[in-house]
Amino acid sequence: MPEHNPGQMGGTMRLGKRRTIFKTSNSIMRKLYGDAEYVEERHRHRFEVNPELKSHFEDKGFRFVGQDVEGERMEIIELDDHPYFVGVQYHPEFTSRPIKPSPPYLGLLLAAAGKLQGYLQKGCRLSPRDVYSDRSGSSTPDSEISEIPTCY
């Protein structure tokens, strides 16, 4: 990180909830987050992508689809022409729950099961009756749990 001082180890990490702005509407991660313009996720890291190397990644098919509010830090990356190759700078495991995985983990599970494209085509809904969302605040979607096996 630009503000990192190797001689001073205390207080050199990016910590806490940070906003990440989606830079494109054509992003798997944005769709998984319900087509939100931004996400706020918890960070705890000391390292990041060197902005000078951004073009080298993009030349190889990577796309930085999410950046910090200032547009200086690369927060979300995707690889074109791959079923599900994403990387995030934040920690989505902090908001995951057994019945309600965070969007990056839900995408991984759906891709591994061969269901991601169908889920995205349905508008990121498990079924037409799905009213459960990441913004619901509920950690126990009882009515949705019974529908999951029949949704795919």
Is the confidence at residue 57, as pLDDT, over 80?
yes
40 near 17, Cβ under 8 Å? yes
Largest pairwise CA distance in the chain = 56
SS3 content of the chain, % helix, strand, coil (to 5): 25, 25, 50
Note the Cα 146 to chain centre separation in Å: 26
Helix (H) or strand (E) segment spanning residue 58: helix 54-59
- Does residue 148 or residue 122 have the better pLDDT? 122
Is the confidence at residue 146, as pLDDT, over 90?
no
Q: Which CATH architecture has domain 14-122?
A: 3-Layer(aba) Sandwich (3.40)
Q: Output the pLDDT for position 8.
A: 55
Phi, psi of 39 (to 5 degrees): -130, 155
Going from N- to C-terminal start, the domains of the chain cover: 14-122
The arithmetic mean of pLDDT across residues 54-66, rounded, is: 93
pLDDT digits (tens, 9 = 90+) for 64-121: 999 989 888 899 999 988 989 999 988 888 888 888 899 999 999 999 999 999 999 8
